[in-house]
């Protein structure tokens, strides 16, 4: 049985990776934060009695299900309502990568190094977001969440061979795009 301190440590270590993974899918910072927070609450409420070793897989499953629930609600909401903000033509202030600018780099850092790093991160984010959904999911689970093939297969509901194929294709596509942009993969 996990102690409260172990659960807190696990959630603190998982929070940023979970946010990044969900943000790639929902493309909305506020929604991603809500999904991650709701998933954390569900984990603590329903699975606090589980062992520490079981928490990563449980959390990933809860995170995926919470994200799918969000998509279902969005689909219903879009069918019923028109967002008036979508109808305005002068909406130039919304930068989809604006959340990147609020990173942890301080102003005391070299600004050219910081800008270059943010630009590279932005490019990588764009490339990952452009991957097909299954490749993106496999890539994020394997390399961002650092899950093994079996855990990724269980979360994605497919075979281990499919996970390997999706991961390989994602890495190949990302490498090709990075080389085309003059970056080393």
For the ranges 3-12, 81-90, 132-141, the lowest mean pLDDT is seen at: 81-90
| Whether this model's pTM surpasses 0.85 | no
**In the chain, pLDDT over 70 holds for what percent of residues?**
74
Residues 73 and 10 in one domain: yes
Indicate whether 62 and 114 sit together in one domain. Answer: no
The pLDDT mean for the chain works out to 80
- Angle ∠(156,161,165) on CA atoms, nearest 5: 85
Q: Is residue 67 in a domain?
A: yes
Of the listed ranges 2-11, 12-21, 119-128, the one predicted with least confidence: 119-128
Site of tokens 């028109």? 82
- d(CA 140, CA 81) in angstroms, rounded, equals 32
- State whether 120 and 75 are in the same domain: no
Using an 8 Å Cβ cutoff, are 174 and 127 in contact? yes
pLDDT band at 30 (very low <50, low <70, confident <90, very high): very high
In a domain, 92, yes or no: no
Domain enclosing residue 165, as ranges: 110-185
């Amino acid at each position: 049985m996990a102690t409260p301190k172990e659960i807190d440590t696990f959630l603190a270590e998982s929070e940023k990776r979970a946010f990044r993974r969900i943000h790639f899918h929902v493309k909305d910072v506020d929604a991603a934060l809500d999904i991650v927070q709701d998933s954390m609450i569900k984990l603590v409420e329903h699975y606090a009695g589980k062992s520490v070793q079981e928490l990563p897989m449980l959390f990933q499953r809860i995170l995926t299900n919470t994200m799918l629930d969000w998509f279902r609600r969005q689909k219903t909401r879009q069918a019923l309502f028109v967002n008036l903000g979508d109808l305005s033509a002068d909406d130039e202030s919304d930068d989809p990568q604006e959340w990147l600018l609020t990173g942890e780099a301080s102003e005391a850092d070299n600004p050219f190094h910081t800008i270059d790093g943010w630009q590279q991160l932005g490019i990588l984010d764009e490339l990952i977001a452009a991957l097909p959904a299954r490749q993106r999911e496999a890539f994020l689970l394997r390399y961002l969440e650092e899950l093994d093939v079996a855990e990724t297969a269980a979360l994605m509901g497919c075979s281990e061979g499919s996970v390997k194929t999706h991961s390989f294709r994602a890495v190949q596509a990302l490498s090709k795009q990075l080389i085309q942009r003059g970056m080393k993969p």
